[in-house]
Amino acid sequence: MRSTLLFIASVLGVVLITAALQQKSAQARVADPNMGRVFSIPGDQVGRPGVNVVFISDDQKDKFNTTMPSAMKAAYHAMIRTKLLALNPNYTKNFLGLDAETFSGVLATDVLTVSLKGATSYYDGTNVLTGRKLNDDVIDFSLKLIFGGTDGKSNPGLSSDNVNKNDKDFSNLFPYEAAPW
């Protein structure tokens, strides 16, 4: 009888420990819904936000997202240049000094370049495309490159989305993004 009670107590202990571990695992999934997931279907690469949305034709968007970065320039450079000049027929150079041919080539490879030395910024007035911080205003920077002319100030109505901060504060805990609602 005593061994049966000991066995039942042991099984009950294992069940309680397993339940506690599962609850902790479930809480981790709530905090980070992607924890442990493997993504096998690529989504929008978004190395440079807006490239696919603005410059790639609707029938090519999925293909663009599955194209290896090393093949993007050859496949999409001309399409991006054509769309850039359609959006801004007066485009000559942007405030980084890039003409339409060069700028289209930069946009065609949709990757986030990251500097391993120095400041990390999409654009902070000095550092250009050395990475990206959550609070970098990548859309305004992109609009200035497209519509801002050689000084970044031309076409003020088109050179900013006038959204100057996130609607919620960023978290101090990884992954640092603000809660979606």
**127/74 Cα distance (integer angstroms):** 27
pLDDT at 145: 94
- 131 part of a folded domain: yes
With CA atoms as reference, report the closest residue to 144 among 132, 120, 129, 161.
161
The DSSP bridge partners found for residue 93 are 99
Stated pTM of the model? 0.71
- 69 part of a folded domain: yes
Confidence class for position 83, pLDDT limits 50, 70, 90: very high
Confidence class for position 29, pLDDT limits 50, 70, 90: very low
Contact 123, 129 (CB under 8 A): yes
- At 116-166, the pLDDT tens digits run 888 889 998 888 889 888 889 999 999 999 999 999 999 999 999 999 888
Mean pLDDT on 23-36: 54
pLDDT value at 32 more than 80 = no
How many separate domains does the chain show? 1
pLDDT at 35: 65
Q: Which residue has the higher pLDDT, 16 or 150?
A: 150
- 117 part of a folded domain: yes
- 71 part of a folded domain: yes
List the domain range (segments joined by +) for residue 96: 51-151
Strands (E), 108-160: none
- 109 part of a folded domain: yes
pLDDT value at 17 more than 50 = yes
The encoded tokens of residue 36 equal 């442990």
- 29 part of a folded domain: no
- 78 part of a folded domain: yes
- 100 part of a folded domain: yes
pLDDT at 46: 73
